[in-house]
Amino acid sequence: MFKRSVAAAHGPPECCDMRGLLSFLILWLLSKKDMYGQEIAKELAKRKGEKPNPGTLYPALRDLEKRGLVRSSRHERKTVYKLTKEGKDGLKKACYYFCRAYGEIFREYKDLCA
């Protein structure tokens, strides 16, 4: 029987390329609280089964900042990332899109998401 913990422990299934969801996941995580890079990486690892390397994570964060969706600030020795109003609006639009595009699939397999 498939279990979520098994999927998280072993990474994404071979059938699907999950790299395109990185920006969406970062925005969603930052909607919960402000975080520094390593916190984001740990949270991503919990969900995706693998920790993104700095060469993947930080360019994504810079791109989100350049587009005005997140803002960074220095606190002591760490750079903390915060979702902007534009980022919150973008996340809502992305959620609407994903629900429209994939909602039926998630409803069909809802037992796996519990």
Element (H, E) at 45: helix 37-48
The predicted model scores a pTM of 0.81
End-to-end CA distance of the chain: 14
Burial class for 77, CB neighbours closer than 10 Å (0-12, 13-18, 19+): exposed
| Tens-place pLDDT, residues 48-68 | 888 888 999 999 999 999 999
Fold classification of 4-113 (topology level): Arc Repressor Mutant, subunit A (1.10.10)
Q: What is the pLDDT of residue 48?
A: 81
What confidence category does residue 8 fall into, taking pLDDT thresholds of 50, 70 and 90?
very low
Cβ atoms of residues 37 and 80 within 8 Å: no
Name the helix (H) or strand (E) containing 79.
strand 78-83
- Tell me the sheet residues that pair with 35: 81
| Phi, psi angle pair for 71, to nearest 5° | -130, 140
Q: Where are the domains of the chain?
A: 4-113
